[in-house]
Amino acid sequence: MVTFTINGASQTVDVDSDVPLLWVLRDELTLTGTKYGCGVAQCGACTVHVDGRAVRACVMPAASLPGREVVTIEGVSGKVAQAVQTAWRKLDVAQCGYCQSGQIMSAIALLTEIPRPSDADIDAGMSGNVCRCATYVRIRAAIHEAAGTLGG
């Protein structure tokens, strides 16, 4: 049994301590917006926020969850999140869309930390998120767009 906060609500799940957060979210809580892409923290499709920081859910075991606050794409909110999601829609970033939850969660974390990122900041903050459709041109543009609307 582990108890943690998910999208603002306390939740107790009956899982073994080695089950990664990704599968707690997907198989136990049916929060399927967070995606499985590689299982070894190489692609970023499973990016969520844990205590406000971008984390790869596929390598975070349930044992480390008690007392943590986890936010997924389904629950992310606030000015930065709204600016990012609006920019994503405005520029039609998504193609297949499978990696985009992770991209968006990483972008929100980046903009929260660096309100006006340079291209180099974006490369550094986003290079852990793979997109096989290679939507990178628009990811970069959308992050700049969101930074602009936030007045950063």
Partner 1 sequence: MVTRRRFLQSTALGGAALLVGVRLDGRQALAADDVFAPNAFVRIAPDNTVTIIGKHLEMGQGSYTGLAVILAEELDADWSQIRVEAAPADVTRYNNTKWGPIQGTGGSTSLAESWEQLRRAGATARAMLVEAAAQEWGVPASEITVDGGVVSHAASNRRATFGELASKAAALTPPAQVTLKDPKDFKLVGKRVPRLDGSAKTDGSAKFTMDFAEPGMLTALIARPPRFGATVKWVDTIGARRVKGVTRVVQVPAGVAVVATSFWAARKGREALRVAWDESRAETRGSDELFAAYRVLAGRPGTSARREGDAAGALRGATRVLEAFYEFPYLAHAPMEPLDAVVRLGADGCDLWAGSQIPTVDQQVVATIVGLPPAKVRVHTMLAGGSFGRRATPNGDVAGEAAAVAKAVGGDKPVKVVWTREDDIQGGRYRPLYVHRLRAGLDAQGNIVGWEHRIVGQSILQGTPFEGMVKNGVDATSVEGASTLPYAIPNITVELHTTRVGVPVLWWRSVGSTHTAFSTETFLDELAQAAGRDPLEVRRTLLAKHPRHRATLDLAAEKAGWGEPLPPGRARGIAVHESFESVVAQVAEVSRRPDGLPKVERVVCAVDCGTAINPDVVRAQMEGGIGFGLAGALWSEITLVRGRVQQRNFDGYRPLRINDMPAVEVHIVPSGAAPTGVGEPGVPPIAPAVANALYQLTGQRVRRLPFARLAPAGTRTA
**Which residues contribute to the site for partner 1 (CB under 8 A)?**
16, 19-20, 23, 26-28, 30, 32-40, 42-43, 45, 72-74, 85, 88-89, 92-101, 104, 122-124, 126-127, 129-140
Q: What is the DSSP string of 7-28?
A: TTEEEEE---TTSBHHHIIIII
User: Would you say 29 or 69 has its CB closer to partner 1?
Assistant: 29
The answer to whether the Cα torsion of 145, 148, 149, 152 is positive or negative is positive
CA-nearest of 21, 20, 2 to 11 is 2
User: Would you say 39 or 152 has its CB closer to partner 1?
Assistant: 39
Strand partners, 49: 54, 71
User: Would you say 6 or 104 has its CB closer to partner 1?
Assistant: 104
User: Would you say 4 or 142 has its CB closer to partner 1?
Assistant: 142
Query: What's the min distance (Å) between Cβ of 104 and partner 1?
Result: 7
Query: What's the min distance (Å) between Cβ of 115 and partner 1?
Result: 19
Q: SS3 for 111?
A: helix
Query: What's the min distance (Å) between Cβ of 3 and partner 1?
Result: 19
CA distance 87 to 39: 28
